[in-house]
């Protein structure tokens, strides 16, 4: 599951952790592609006002989930088979490098400012291409060019304020089976019978102990 979550988060650029929230509650399948072919089984995401949940199942039958809480700036990795969970400050822990997040904007009609803040290196450019329809949904397309000249495209849904398609030089992906509407609160809560796994001091990705 960690690989799939990392793939999605890496492709959709970076996680803005400043309290910018989704405009609408929704759920969707995240499908990643390379050379026009699907690379992994879909990961289901659930979005509510200040939280996000990822769920993934592996071919061997194992499953897992991650809950990101924008209000507390924490991420919880759930391990259903062991009824345990690990909690990390957002930006730390397993997959932290990829989980610098999901590209989310304040204003879909003027998104370049937010996008450029996330660039790994200064010197890139961003331009608004215009309106396009993606899988029956109205979107605003943006194109960014990194300092090294690599071009990426992203299609933002004004209603969801979230990417519904993205593509880079080598890969891309999109949201499919989007279902708008309130999401059950239980999806974003750690089950009462789960125990918190205590992480050893000095584990990579963990904050220093004082």
Quick: pLDDT tens for 89-125: 866 655 444 433 345 667 888 888 776 666 556 778 8
pLDDT digits (tens, 9 = 90+) for 10-20: 334 333 333 34
Residue 84 has pLDDT above 90, yes or no: yes
Whether residue 147 has pLDDT greater than 80:
yes
Spatial CA neighbour of 137 closest among 112, 156, 111: 156
Separation in Å, CA 28 to CA 69, 106, 130, 174, 184 = 18, 21, 24, 10, 14
Q: Phi/psi zone of residue 136: left (φ > 0), alpha (ψ -120 to 50 degrees), beta? A: left
pTM here?
Answer: 0.76
Domains of the chain: 2-191 (2.50.20.10)
Cα–Cα dist 87/66, whole Å: 10
Dihedrals φ, ψ of 43, to 5°? -100, 130
Beta bridge mates, 130 = 141
Residue with tokens 């979230």: 162
For the chain, the average pLDDT equals 76
Characterise 26 by phi-psi region: left (phi > 0), alpha (psi -120 to 50), beta (else). beta
Phi-psi region of 93 (alpha: psi -120 to 50; beta: other; left: phi over 0): left
């Amino acid at each position: 599951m960690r690989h799939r979550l990392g793939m999605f988060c890496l492709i959709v650029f970076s996680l803005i952790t400043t309290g910018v929230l989704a405009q609408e509650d929704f759920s969707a399948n995240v499908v990643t592609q390379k050379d026009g072919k699907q690379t992994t089984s879909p990961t289901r995401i659930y979005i509510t006002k200040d939280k996000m949940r990822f769920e993934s199942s592996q071919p061997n039958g194992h499953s897992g989930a991650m809950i990101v809480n924008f209000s507390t700036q924490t991420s919880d990795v759930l391990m259903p088979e062991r009824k345990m969970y690990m909690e990390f400050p957002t930006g730390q822990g397993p997959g932290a490098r990829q989980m610098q997040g999901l590209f989310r904007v304040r204003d879909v009609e003027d998104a370049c400012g937010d996008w450029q803040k996330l660039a790994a290196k200064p010197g890139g450019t961003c331009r608004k291409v215009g309106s396009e329809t993606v899988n029956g949904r109205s979107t605003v397309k943006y194109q960014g060019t990194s300092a090294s000249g690599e071009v990426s495209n992203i299609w933002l849904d004004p209603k969801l304020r979230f990417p519904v398609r993205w593509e880079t030089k080598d890969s891309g992906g999109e949201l499919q089976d989007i279902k708008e509407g309130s999401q059950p609160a239980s999806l974003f809560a750690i089950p009462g019978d789960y125990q918190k796994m205590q992480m050893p001091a000095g584990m990579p990705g963990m904050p220093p102990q004082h």
